[in-house]
Chain A
Amino acid sequence: MEKLRIALPKGRIGEDSVDLFKKIGIGNIINLKSRKLVFYDSENNIEFVLLKNADVITYVENGVADIGIVGKDMIIESKKDVFELHNLKFGYCNMCIAGKKDKEIYKRDSVLKVATKFTNSTKEYFEKKGQEISIIKLNGSVELAPVLGLTDVIVDIVETGSTLKANGLEVLEKMYPINSMIICNKVSYRFKYGKIKRIIDSIIKIEEGN
């Protein structure tokens, strides 16, 4: 039985993924409370590695991990060359444009200043809309940018909207919905197709309540 390596993101999505894998009978060895980053399920010959969310797709694209779980936002932003095999039923949120209430998003006659971590997807989205923008890349606390006058709006992931509300901002436009996905390395797909497909089929059965 060939060995499979699965990359999981730390945090909430990682926890949901481990719960799901345990339901289909793999990864029972994983203990997220420990400080270990690698867990080996010898019964199924699967190694699980815990990574920073943004690194999962890099490990999978480079073939270090065969499959991984990652938010659709990372797939769209990174443009990495991976297969997108299954939409999971968790990690739901939206990529949104947010700003101060009643803020005008589209200003044909001037450049809109946008703060975001997601520079590629922001650039593409506004290009399609025909709005010229100036992007300011921030690595955290993006919500502060319009509050302190650094930018007109922000582009960020919104789950409940409570962080926005707490900072006096609101969603001005939903760009696209996000959920977690199972991604796969293109060469692993060729060599380990059977094992990967069996895992995905088992997950689908659980999701459909069978």
Chain B
Amino acid sequence: MKFKNISEEMEFSQKRYNLRKDIENLFIEKNYTNYETNIIEEVKENLPADIQFEDEQTVKIIGGNGKISVLSRDITTNLLNNILPNWERENNLKLFYYGKTFKNTNSKILENRQMGAECIGVDTIDSDKEIIQLITSIMSKYKDNYIIEIGTSEYLKGILNEFYLDNTEYKTIINLINKKNIEDLKIYMKKFENSPSKEALLSIINMRGSLKQVLKNAEKFYLNEKMKKGLEELIEIEKYLNEKNLNNKNIICDLSTTSSLNYYSGLMIKTFYENSNKEIIKGGRYDINWDGYGEVIPAIGFSVDIDELLRKIYIKEEI
């Protein structure tokens, strides 16, 4: 962000601090502990691949001894890199963080401020509920017109498991669903025999609406264990939202969310403000299946794009 003068920059900086404190207070009220993450990370070979970033968007640094490190791409992975090697069964962590992430684009290195919360090793459905409640508190604090989009990675993964796809087929289908391109998806799927799972896949882009409506629609299709698991988690969340009177027009369910499908293992959440062109919050369940530990560690969390949130509320002078 560019400023006209120093006083404008100082004002913006103070508002960013206030915003950070506001959200921190929400975390502290729920007994979350602050965790400081590192900016520079080592790539650890013994951790699960799906919790590490290593691609062309990662900013790499070469040290004096020729060893390559990376600038933090995502704070959750940074945090897991630090805590997983010492993980013990009785650990039950509720953490929050504030930090910077870095992304390499064609023209420059982008720096982004991220804040978020993670529940690691905490009983599944209770942590789902707490995370949704925190997200609702943040979104409703600053604007009335927002959308919390809820989905599950397991329903779509369950459908795709039925097809025994090769890598190219998998990527093509995911790309078409990601683009909501239902017509080209229908054309592409012609080479597969008609089946209940094909019918479910071709319906997935339209599985969008209120939780009640989408769950009713999704249950009509063929359900394997993975799909069932995804829907059961959403049914519990619907019950919770109804109990707390939170199941309103701001909550939308969409079963065709594909971003980071391999990373997530259940609930997926994205939130939006109108007139903002980016997600304000994103997160979900990413239970960790790690050979180095031997058991699945339940994990759920979310991150808030502080820069985007501030841009939207600063303009309106709502903070």
Chain A residues within CB distance 8 Å of chain B: 62-63, 82-87, 184-187, 189-191, 193
Known: A62-B277, A185-B277. A191 touches B180 (CB 8 A): no
B183 touches A86 (CB 8 A): yes
B272 touches A191 (CB 8 A): yes
B272 touches A187 (CB 8 A): yes
B180 touches A189 (CB 8 A): yes
B181 touches A193 (CB 8 A): no
Interface of B is mostly: loop
Residues of B within 8 A of A189 (CB): 180
List the 9 closest A-B pairs by CB distance, nearest first.
A63-B277, A84-B181, A83-B180, A84-B179, A190-B147, A87-B183, A191-B274, A190-B272, A187-B272
How many angstroms between the C-alpha atoms of A187 and B147 in the bound complex? 10
How many angstroms between the C-alpha atoms of A83 and B145 in the bound complex? 22
A193 touches B180 (CB 8 A): no
Identify the closest chain A residue to B271 (Cβ).
Answer: A190
Query: Which of A85, A184, A187 is close to B277, meaning CB atoms less than 8 Å apart?
Result: A187
Residues of A within 8 A of B183 (CB): 86-87
Listed by A's residue number, 22 A-B pairs whose Cβ atoms lie within 8 Å are: A62-B277, A63-B275, A63-B277, A82-B179, A83-B180, A84-B180, A84-B184, A85-B181, A86-B183, A87-B184, A186-B277, A187-B272, A187-B276, A187-B277, A187-B278, A189-B180, A190-B149, A190-B252, A190-B272, A191-B145, A191-B274, A193-B208
How many angstroms between the C-alpha atoms of A191 and B180 in the bound complex? 15
Residues of A within 8 A of B275 (CB): 63, 187
How many angstroms between the C-alpha atoms of A143 and B252 in the bound complex? 50
B180 touches A85 (CB 8 A): yes
From B149, B179, B272, name the one whose CB has the most chain A CB atoms within 10 angstroms: B179
A191 touches B147 (CB 8 A): yes
Residues of B within 8 A of A87 (CB): 183-184
Residues of A within 8 A of B180 (CB): 83-85, 184, 189
Residues of A within 8 A of B184 (CB): 84, 87
Residues of A within 8 A of B272 (CB): 187, 190-191
Residues of B within 8 A of A86 (CB): 183
Residues of A within 8 A of B277 (CB): 62-63, 185-187
B76 to chain A, nearest CB (A): 22
Residues of A within 8 A of B276 (CB): 187
How many angstroms between the C-alpha atoms of A187 and B276 in the bound complex? 7
How many angstroms between the C-alpha atoms of A63 and B277 in the bound complex? 6
Residues of A within 8 A of B208 (CB): 193
Contact with A along B185-206 (1 / 0, CB 8 A): 0000000000000000000000
Identify the closest chain B residue to A64 (Cβ).
Answer: B277
Identify the closest chain A residue to B274 (Cβ).
Answer: A191
- Further contacts, 14 of them, CB under 8 A, given A84-B180, A84-B181: A63-B277, A83-B180, A83-B181, A84-B179, A84-B184, A85-B181, A86-B183, A184-B180, A187-B277, A190-B252, A190-B272, A191-B145, A191-B272, A193-B208
How many angstroms between the C-alpha atoms of A187 and B208 in the bound complex? 14
Residues of B within 8 A of A184 (CB): 180
How many angstroms between the C-alpha atoms of A186 and B184 in the bound complex? 18
Residues of B within 8 A of A84 (CB): 179-181, 184
Residues of B within 8 A of A83 (CB): 179-181
How many angstroms between the C-alpha atoms of A187 and B184 in the bound complex? 22
How many angstroms between the C-alpha atoms of A88 and B244 in the bound complex? 44
Residues of B within 8 A of A186 (CB): 277
Identify the closest chain A residue to B181 (Cβ).
Answer: A84
B179 to chain A, nearest CB (A): 5
